[in-house]
Structures are given as C-alpha cells and as structure tokens.
Structure 1
Amino acid sequence: MTAPVIVAALLAVAIAALISALVTWTSRPLLQRYALARPNARSSHRVPTPQGAGIAVISATLVVAMTWAVWTNVAIPPALVIATVVIALVGFADDIVPLPVLVRLVLQAGCVAAVVFTAPDDARVLPALPLALERGLIVLAGIWFVNLVNFMDGLDLMTVAEMVPVTAALLLFGLIGELSWPAVSIATALCGAMLGFAPFNKPVAKVFLGDVGSLPIGLLLGWCLLELAWHGQPAAALLLPAYYLADATITLFRRIARREQFWSAHRSHFYQRATDNGFTVPRVIGDVFALNLVLAALAILTVRSGSMTVTPLALVAGAVAVGFVLRRFSRPQAS
C-alpha cells in the first residue's frame, strides 16, 4: 500500500461523488416529469417522488472506474460493462412502464450469465465441482443477488447504508492486495457515487435510485464479491453482504411457505416491518449501517488473520449480529 495509491483512491471517490451529485441534481426535474413513483399500500414513502437517480450513480461509477482502470493499466471485463448498461436500461424501462416479470428475469439472467461465463476458467470458488456446474450455480446466485438488492432498496438511504461500508471494505482489501484491481476500481467508484447520491436520498428523500440504479448496483457489487471469493476469500465475500442476504432470503422463503405471490410487491422485509413496529427511518438506517460496519470488521478479520479457527468464529459472530438486528426489527417498540 503506497501513499500515491491511497491518494488516487480518495480522488476517485471524490470525483465519482461529484459526478453523481451533479447528474442527480440536473436530472431531477426530468425524473419528476417522466419517472414519478406514486405511493401505494406497499410503499414506505408518503408523497410522489421521482425515481431514476440510479442513472447518475451508474454513470459516475462506470466513468470513474474505467478511467482509473486505464490509468492503472488494468482491464475491467467488457462483458461486465455491457451487462451493466443493458440491465440499467431494463431497469429504466421498468421505472417508466412496468415490464412483465418473465421478461425482466430473462434479460437479467442473460446479463449475469454473460459476466460469469466469460470469466477465466481458473477463476474458481469450489474447484471440486465441475466448472459448468459451479458457473451455473453462480449464475443463479447472481440473479438472486441482483434482485435482492432491488428488493432491499425500499427505504430512504437504505442502499447507501449498505453499499458504502461494503465498497469501502472492498477498497481496503484491494489496498492490502486481497482483491483484483478491476474490482477495486468498481468498488471505489461505486462508493463515491453512492456518497454523491446520499444527500438527495436522506429522509425525506427528494429522489430514489429506481430499478435503473438498484439492479446494476446489484450486478456490480455481486461481481466484486465474486472476485473476492475467486481471490481465495469466500468467507469475507459472504460476511460483507450478510444483512441483505439474510433479510431478503428469509423473507422470500417465508412468503413461499405462506403460498404468497412472492414475486409481487410487499412490505414484509424486516426493515419494512421495523418501520411498522415503531422504528423511525433514521434509526433503521443507523442500525443497518452499524451492523454493516461490524460485518466489514469481521470480514477484514478473516482476511488478515489467515487462521482456520478465526474464520468459522467470524462467520458465527456475523450470523449472530445479523440475527440480533433482524429480531430487533421484527419486534414492536415500547411506547
């Protein structure tokens, strides 16, 4: 880790934040006119709010990441860039005129598969499995991850509270040599872009990310975490997004068990139930942010310790921390 690299990383964060903020600010009047999210029974907001600021976040992320990649002489996979743009366009179309579920899934699956199956053959998480089987499982996990990031983007600053700690931890992993530089450039730029978006999304939000933001953010973050796992750090790759994974996955299985239309909009995520149980939005976001800092610290511990004993303990500690927050969210607050 050298001082010039740290300075360059901080500069990339600052530039991405500035671009994201400027594009969000200038595009808001158009989004107000053409992409207005009106509240309904399943919404967490109470007034019509423009959505689609993900255009700013994704644009800032790709521009800064690709520029930094050129400067450091590394290559971001073209399939990832193309898939991100395509999935953003699908999300933007869905923000304006809702698309059929099957159409969205097919297009998302194509984007995720293009990224996964163009990766080098020596990029493995479970070498004991046949390559085709492992890649197929990763595609399924990737489709779920893209969608769960979208599902969890249902509260002011929620995605900021998730993405900033996770991407900052990924940047740190890159600085200590535990993550590929293409992934570091994506994570760094995404961290900055989310910081630039944050002032517009703080309660009460002036603008939402929309599917044009949450879906490609899920793809980009999922790829960075996959790169971390390919780099020999699967425990860290699981710990960093553990809250999102737990909240979204448990909610999905509960809805399936209740024979509900699990693909339709709802308000049964733990963070949504928290607001129904008396938690204020800032308190929910504060708890999620604090939890993500704990998970990031545990992930860093698994990477730096290099101990086969520490990793299982860190995973258990992460599960306990996530379980504590989920249980807390699911109980009514004392009046």
Structure 2
Amino acid sequence: MNACLQAMTAPQWWLIPAVAVAAAIVSALVILLIRPLLQKHALAKPNARSSHRTPTPQGAGIAVIAATLLIAGLAIAHLGEGLSNFPALLFGAALFVAALGFADDIKPVPVLPRLLLQAIAVGAVVVAPSCDLRLAPFLPLEIERGLLVLAGLWFVNLVNFMDGLDWITAAEVVPITAAIALLGVAGGLPLTVSLVAAALCGAMLGFAPFNRPVATIFLGDVGSLPIGLLLGWCLLQTAGQHHFGAALLLPLYYLADATLTLVRRLIRREPFWVAHRSHFYQRATDNGFTVMQVVSEVFTLNLVLAALAAFSIKAASPTADVALFAVGAAAVASTLLRFSRQRNAKAV
C-alpha cells in the first residue's frame, strides 16, 4: 500500500458517512438535471446483450463519477495536510476513461484503440503511483507492474461487461465500497482510500433509485468504466495494506462470473468483444429468475463476501485467508451453478 497515504485518526471518522451522504445527494441531483438531455441524445437501444426491451437513456455515470470525484476531492482538500496525498493521477485517469466511455456510448469506438487508451489510463495509475507499492516483491518490479496493468485493464472491462442488468452494478459496488470505507473507519486503510470508496458508495446509492427495475436510466460506459478503475484502485490499495485475502474476496463474484464467461467464449472461439448474453447473471434471467431475484442474490452474496473479508482482516493469517477464500469460492460457485440452471416453474 502507498505508505505515504495519510491514515485515519479517530476524530476523522465522521467524514466517511458525511462524504457518502453528500455524494448521494449530488449524484441524484445531477441525474435529474441531465436526464432530459440524455433522453434526447443518448438512448441505449436494445441489442444482443440487453436485458431491456425499450430504448432507455444512458449516461447516468456522468453524475456518479462527477459526484464521486467532487465530494472525495473536497473531503481530501478539507484535511489540509492531506493535500499532499491527493490522488490527482487517479482522478485524471478516471475522467479520461469516463470521456472515452462517453464517446463509446455515443458512437462505438473500435476495440483495439479503446483497449489501448484504457491501458494508458490504468498504466498511469499503476505504474506511476506517488509512493512505491509492492504486492509481489519476489518478482522484478517491471514484471509486477506489467501484471498489475493487465489485471487493472481486465477489472475495468469486467465491471463494464457485468453492467447488463438493472441494479446489478449497485448490488456489487455498494457492498464493496461500504466495506472498504468501514475498514478505513476501523483504521485498516488510509483515509484517502476510504474517502474515495465512501464517495463512490454514496454516488451509487444516489443513482440506485433511477436504476431500480424497470430502470429509467443506465450508467453507460461513461460510468461503468471509471467505476471499474476507481474500484480497482481501492482494492489494489487494500491489497497493498497486506489485506490481500480481503481484496480478492470482495469482488469475487464479479471476477468469477466475468472470467469464467470469457474463458468459455474463448474456448468456443467466440468473439468475446461482441455483445452477448452468456454471463451467469444474464443466463439466470433466461432461466426463469426475475431481475429482482438475481440482484437480491448477488447483493446477499456480496454481503457474505464482505463479512468473510472482514474476518480475513481480523485474523491476519495466511491460513485463515485460504480457508475463508475457500468458503467464499464455494458460495460464489453455488450462486453461479444456480444461475446456470433452469429455475423450477413452481418456485417462480
């Protein structure tokens, strides 16, 4: 973890809920302001990947990212001495990725240029942090950073891939960011990381009422891509604080669903970059699950994973990490298996 980032002190704990509430309010207000424009200029038409049947405005990610960066930035600036720890590079990269996502929402950007530009943004965050971060010191620094860039690029895109159902991104992001923010309150993370997580959590809560099934607005790539970058950074910093087990447990459902789907499509020689409906959460709706049933299960699973991550941090033991990861993996596997099977008609 960046040793230079400021740790939280007891009198600062109030910043976490205050930041979350402020970000929720700003996010909701900005959505109300921009929704008429998005309705005219940024309609998402149903395609092979879609779970909706009617054109719906997309671009609420503008509000989510604006609220996250604005409120987190003001809170960090409020700290005074925390200004030296301001993650300017992260904020700049998030804005860059958001602009790229917005361009892709309006007119699709070719795959290779899109990935290259995303890799530049991820690389800027991973390769040039303000302080050295080592997760695998047994590897040469260049190799470790290269692997982190690849992992970050995949995480940014998997969050985008998984944003294909009403409320599912909120069901994933809110428990993860809330857990990271609370970890900061408990003193397990630097304040800067906790503030970014709290702001993102609040901004997603402000977006959630508009995305409730049946959604009246979507995040769009302008939201899902920078959310993936910000969330990935928070998880990277969590791992850097020697909470590696927690950093893997928190996003385990998204990692499993997206990665297994990608591997399956590669084995079948399917063009993985083309819109599809083969993610487990998408197959669940095809197999008789309602949207609310899917997001409720995902949300509940993420609460379980967050609890396991908390136990992992408290235990601070490699043996406990392995055991808790096994429990989490079993819970995720059970959910994926249930999603991939036809739901009993009587149960529906």
TM-score range, shorter chain: over 0.9
Listed one character per residue, the Cα deviations across residues 277-314 of structure 1 (whole Å, up to 9, x for unaligned) are 00000000000000000000000000011233321110
Q: Which of 177, 180, 191 does residue 190 from structure 2 map onto? A: 180
**1:1-335 alignment, distance < 5 Å:** 4-72=11-79, 73-74=81-82, 75-120=85-130, 122-335=132-345
Alignment partners' CA distance in 2, 1:114 and 1:308: 31
Alignment partners' CA distance in 2, 1:162 and 1:178: 21
Q: Residue 105 of structure 1 aligns to which amino acid in structure 2?
A: L
Q: Which runs of 5+ in 2 are unaligned?
A: 1-7
TM-score, normalised by the number of residues in structure 2: 0.94
Q: Could you tell me how far 1:103 is from its partner in structure 2?
A: 1.2
Q: Does structure 1 conserve the Cα–Cα contact (< 8 Å) formed by 2:45 and 2:55?
A: yes
Alignment partners' CA distance in 1, 2:47 and 2:174: 29
Alignment partners' CA distance in 1, 2:49 and 2:306: 31
Q: Residue 245 of structure 2 aligns to which amino acid in structure 1?
A: A
Q: Residue 24 of structure 2 aligns to which amino acid in structure 1?
A: A
Alignment partners' CA distance in 1, 2:318 and 2:67: 39
Listed one character per residue, the Cα deviations across residues 58-108 of structure 1 (whole Å, up to 9, x for unaligned) are 000000111111122322322111111000000001001111011110110
Q: Residue 302 of structure 1 aligns to which amino acid in structure 2?
A: S
**Number of paired residues?**
335
Q: Residue 70 of structure 2 aligns to which amino acid in structure 1?
A: V
Q: Residue 118 of structure 1 aligns to which amino acid in structure 2?
A: A
Alignment partners' CA distance in 1, 2:13 and 2:152: 30
Q: Could you tell me how far 1:116 is from its partner in structure 2?
A: 0.7
Q: Does structure 1 conserve the Cα–Cα contact (< 8 Å) formed by 2:105 and 2:220?
A: yes
Q: Residue 334 of structure 1 aligns to which amino acid in structure 2?
A: N
Q: Could you tell me how far 1:139 is from its partner in structure 2?
A: 0.1
Alignment partners' CA distance in 1, 2:48 and 2:221: 19
Q: Could you tell me how far 1:120 is from its partner in structure 2?
A: 4.7
Alignment partners' CA distance in 2, 1:295 and 1:304: 14
Alignment partners' CA distance in 2, 1:70 and 1:121: 19
2:5 alignment partner in structure 1:
none
The alignment partner of 2:14 has SS state of helix
Alignment partners' CA distance in 1, 2:11 and 2:52: 43
Alignment partners' CA distance in 1, 2:76 and 2:34: 27
Alignment partners' CA distance in 2, 1:228 and 1:6: 18
Identity of aligned residues (%): 60
Q: Could you tell me how far 1:4 is from its partner in structure 2?
A: 4.4
Q: Residue 58 of structure 1 aligns to which amino acid in structure 2?
A: I
TM-score, normalised by the number of residues in structure 1: 0.98
Range moving further from structure 2, 90-99 or 66-75: 66-75
Q: Residue 139 of structure 1 aligns to which amino acid in structure 2?
A: V
Q: Does structure 1 conserve the Cα–Cα contact (< 8 Å) formed by 2:20 and 2:202?
A: yes
Alignment partners' CA distance in 1, 2:113 and 2:86: 28
Alignment partners' CA distance in 2, 1:227 and 1:306: 16
Root-mean-square deviation (CA, aligned residues, Å) is: 1.2
Q: Residue 296 of structure 2 aligns to which amino acid in structure 1?
A: G
The alignment partner of 1:309 has SS state of helix
Alignment partners' CA distance in 1, 2:54 and 2:215: 10
Range moving further from structure 2, 170-179 or 1-10: 1-10
